[in-house]
Amino acid sequence: MRMFDVIEAKRDGAVLSDEEIRFFVEGVATGEIPDYQAAALCMAIYLNGMNAHETATLTLAMAASGDQVDLSPIPGIKVDKHSTGGVGDKTTLVVAPLVASLGVPVAKMSGRGLGHTGGTLDKLEAIPGFSTALDRERFFEVVNTVGCAVIGQTGNLCPADKQLYALRDVTATIDSIPLIASSIMSKKIAAGADAILLDVKCGSGAFMKTPEQAIELAKAMVSIGEEVGRTTVALITDMDRPLGKAIGNALEVVEAVRVLEGRGAEDLTAVCVELAANMLSLAGKGDLVACRSLAERQIENGEGLAKLLQMVEAQGGNPHSLEDFSLLPQPGLMREVRSARSGRVFSMNTERCGIASVALGGGRIRKEDGIDYAAGIVLERKTGDRVEVGETLARIYAADEDHLDEGERLLASAYEIRDEKPAELPHFFARVSSSGIDRY
């Protein structure tokens, strides 16, 4: 088989055979197919799409391209959660301990932030001493004794996806439904959970800008999961404004603790409860109504927070830093970003809010860059809020004035202030499962 013919076939709109897809994925994983040919096929897929069978074949081939984790030493139904990426999304820090505090094991592999989106590993590593690099034995031990653990992806999980993702990132081929669906689901399948909850973000801070695009992506991922025997559910949630108030690693740890104390922002708390309820329901703890009450109860009685402290301690972190926030990394400087006019926050360019946090030092521009765990943003005003000229829109944190200047410029330009009130934004748009689409 020749890669040239596979590219030509997809360029001309043909359906690829299973053999052609496997040939491509194996060649990418072994390095036999050069980057330029792999990138050319990604562009052909981006332009001409893939049908459900091609997408499932691509996913399974990528899942099989490296290690597959066997979670069977952990008793119980293991439910994984995955967000398609957003700004201010610290839900894993809340949801994993909430669910684990009800006896549902969470053995989670998470990623780092890249581009404008944050990553759970970076947030957890803002906690002094916390290690996301446990070996497999210790990972299982923590899940079996504490109930939850969050680590980085093991070295050889989905190597084909690793190569392709890096190529797609620099060849404008990220936001293609078959390519995103296969990239995410190959990693989820290889990570071994019995059931998968997907949080598909939509809006100005997400890959999918509209609910309809997000539903299409969700349908593709649910159908792949079900095809390989993993019960898969997707929630379509809002990312047209950042989630909660904090953007930046240590700041987001503080906000996650606030949610578990019952003092979190309303939007973030609502999303965390809904995600936890869906995970609990997938683990057989009851219907969604019952599971929402269970999740809320674990916030009220403090057991979710206690579980987070146990997990932090088991992974080498200092649990006292979640009780005394002065033990978390502290920023050098703070500045208030003030409104240039009176009115209502009509919209927020959420991607730009994420880029502002990166510019403050809270994220990486290149993979190898260091990170300032204390840097970031606390939003005082969000979409719909009233603001007077000169009042504070947000507080920004960074190590020096240069970072503050760049962060302020970007963040101020992310706010659109008008006289009129914007339409109310929902937190949830739809729930997609094997039984269909339920709109909220």
Smallest separation (angstroms) from ligand URA to the CB of 184? 5
Smallest separation (angstroms) from ligand URA to the CB of 364? 16
Smallest separation (angstroms) from ligand URA to the CB of 31? 20
Task: Give CA–CA dist 74/103, Å, rounded.
Answer: 12
* Contact code string over 79-118 relative to ligand URA, x by CB under 6 A: -----xx---------------------------------
Q: What are the structure tokens assigned to 31, written together?
A: 């390095």
Of 37-45, 86-94, 141-149, 176-184: span binding ligand URA (CB under 6 A):
176-184
Partners of residue 432 on adjacent β-strands? 234, 437
Residue with Cβ nearer ligand URA (85 or 97)? 85
| Contact partners, residue 299, CB within 8 Å, separation at least 6 | 98, 259, 260, 261, 262, 269, 273, 305
324 an active-site residue? no
161 an active-site residue? yes
* Contact code string over 206-235 relative to ligand URA, x by CB under 6 A: ------------------------------
Residue with Cβ nearer ligand URA (84 or 321)? 84
Residue with Cβ nearer ligand URA (180 or 378)? 180
Residue with Cβ nearer ligand URA (59 or 278)? 59
Select from 76, 127, 261, 344 the least CA-distant residue to 269: 261
CA separation, residue 344 to residues 173, 243, 277, 331, 423 (Å): 36, 19, 33, 30, 11
Burial 348-371 (b: 16+ CB within 10 A, else e): bbbbbbbbbbbbbbbbbeeeeeeb
Among 184, 191, 276, 374, binds ligand URA (CB under 6 A): 184
Which residue carries 């649910």 as its tokens? 222
Of 148-156, 180-188, 209-217, 341-349: span binding ligand URA (CB under 6 A):
180-188
183 an active-site residue? yes
Between the two ends of the chain, the Cα-to-Cα distance in Å is 48
Q: What are the structure tokens assigned to 29, written together?
A: 């994983």
82 an active-site residue? yes
Using DSSP's 3-state secondary structure scheme, residue 318 falls into coil
Cβ contact 140:69 at 8 Å? no
Among 180, 256, 273, 404, binds ligand URA (CB under 6 A): 180
Interhelix angle 249-260/266-282, rounded to 10 degrees, is 70
* Kind of pairing between the strands at 386-387 and 415-418: unpaired
Smallest separation (angstroms) from ligand URA to the CB of 158? 9
Cβ contact 67:223 at 8 Å? no
Of 8-16, 179-187, 220-228, 352-360: span binding ligand URA (CB under 6 A):
179-187
320 an active-site residue? no
Q: Is 65 in the site for ligand URA (CB under 6 A)?
A: no
Q: Of 168, 258, 352, 403, which is the active-site residue?
A: 168
- Residue 234 DSSP one-character state: E
Q: Is 183 in the site for ligand URA (CB under 6 A)?
A: yes
Smallest separation (angstroms) from ligand URA to the CB of 180? 4
Cα within 13 Å of Cα(31), Cβ side: 0
Angle 217-219-221 from CA coordinates, rounded to 5°: 70
Of 60-68, 88-96, 126-134, 177-185: span binding ligand URA (CB under 6 A):
177-185
Q: What DSSP letter does each residue of 113-135 carry, written as one string?
A: -BTTB--HHHHHHTSTT--S---
Please tell me the count of residues contacting ligand URA according to CB under 6 A: 8
Q: Of 65, 83, 176, 183, which is the active-site residue?
A: 183
Smallest separation (angstroms) from ligand URA to the CB of 182? 8
Smallest separation (angstroms) from ligand URA to the CB of 54? 16
Smallest separation (angstroms) from ligand URA to the CB of 412? 28
| Contact partners, residue 72, CB within 8 Å, separation at least 6 | none
Q: Of 187, 188, 352, 431, which is the active-site residue?
A: 187
* Contact code string over 146-175 relative to ligand URA, x by CB under 6 A: -------------------x--------x-
Size of the chain in residues = 440
* Contact code string over 253-292 relative to ligand URA, x by CB under 6 A: ----------------------------------------
Show which residues are catalytic.
82, 161, 168, 183, 187
Binding stretches for ligand URA (CB under 6 A) = 84-85, 165, 174, 179-180, 183-184
